[in-house]
Amino acid sequence: MYKYKINEYLYGLNVIEYSAARKIIPQELEISLNTFHNYRNIKVDAVTDIPYAMVRKMEILFKMKRGGLENSVIKGSDLKSLIYKKKKN
């Protein structure tokens, strides 16, 4: 499973749109085609990640809501809970 739904979006395009998207997206993000392919293939359990600004730009390009590109949910405790938990110990 991939960390982001980039491939899922691209595979929903027709052949002409897909071909154009592979050229336009790296240009809009100001990255190389190779970097874009690397972004597409990041596994959900990988330490590697895409800079937040790039993720937001892709969400805008794909007409997705904030967080719509993520393929997994990140869970954790809020800071105050951690502070008070630390004080009790």
Single-letter residue type at 59: E
CA angle 19/36/29 to nearest 5° reads: 90
pTM greater than the 0.85 cutoff: no
pLDDT of residue 10: 98
CB 13 within 8 A of CB 56: no
Q: In angstroms, rounded to a whole number, what is the distance separating the alpha carbons of residues 10 and 22?
A: 9
CB 65 within 8 A of CB 14: no
For residue range 4-22, what is the model confidence (pLDDT) as tens digits?
999 999 999 999 999 999 9
